[in-house]
Amino acid sequence: MEVHGGKDAAVLVPLFEDAEGELHAVFTRRRHDLRRHAGEISFPGGRRDDGEALVDTALREAHEEVGLPPAAVRLVGALPPTPTFVTNYAIYPFVGLIEPGFAWRLQHSEVAEVLELRLADLRAGAGERRLVRKGVPFRTATYEVGPTLVWGATARIVGDLLARLG
């Protein structure tokens, strides 16, 4: 599938089931001092290297950012690509199942923390907010879990995931 965006990127949407049978998604909180998307919640991912398949981008970036080896991921599908409006990326999300209890190894130059959020909590925290970024106000879909606010392209990917799961 094609989507508007000047630069291709891919993310991995890692999912795992806990001992109670609850599904969780794995996110990162980006460092607050980054030039782009500072402090935002995102899935592990990034820009596609020349000649690289998008699924390989998602797996490579997850390995680089949080230490998740590609062999530890069972790919189960893809979600519709989504654009970023300010940074002009076309983001291709790939969904993968992982084992619970993974010992995350953060790429500290980019990732501040890893968040494991229950899908039930994301669904319960769904809403819409007025946000202001770079002086521009806008309304956007959001997912709030405790102090964590997921918005933007990541929220659109979460919405697609929740809709697909029913």
CATH of residue 65? 3.90.79.10
Considering the domain boundaries, does residue 51 fall inside one? yes
- What's the rounded mean pLDDT across residues 128-132? 87
Considering the domain boundaries, does residue 17 fall inside one? yes
Asked if pLDDT for residue 12 goes beyond 90, the answer is yes
Asked if pLDDT for residue 5 goes beyond 60, the answer is no
Domain residues for the domain of 92 are 7-119
Percentage of the chain beyond pLDDT 90 is 74
Considering the domain boundaries, does residue 128 fall inside one? no
Question: 83 is written with which tokens?
Answer: 């654009």
Q: What are phi and psi of 34, to 5 degrees?
A: -80, 155
Asked if pLDDT for residue 74 goes beyond 60, the answer is yes
Considering the domain boundaries, does residue 155 fall inside one? no
Q: Which of 66, 41, 55, 72 is nearest to 10 (CA)?
A: 55
Compute the distance between CA of residue 88 and CA of residue 3 in angstroms, rounded to an integer.
Answer: 11
Considering the domain boundaries, does residue 77 fall inside one? yes
Least trusted range by pLDDT, from 25-29, 88-92, 134-138: 134-138
Considering the domain boundaries, does residue 149 fall inside one? no
Asked if pLDDT for residue 2 goes beyond 70, the answer is no
- Structural domains counted in the chain: 1
Compute the distance between CA of residue 75 and CA of residue 13 in angstroms, rounded to an integer.
Answer: 10
Compute the distance between CA of residue 103 and CA of residue 114 in angstroms, rounded to an integer.
Answer: 10
Considering the domain boundaries, does residue 80 fall inside one? yes
Compute the distance between CA of residue 119 and CA of residue 157 in angstroms, rounded to an integer.
Answer: 13
Considering the domain boundaries, does residue 87 fall inside one? yes
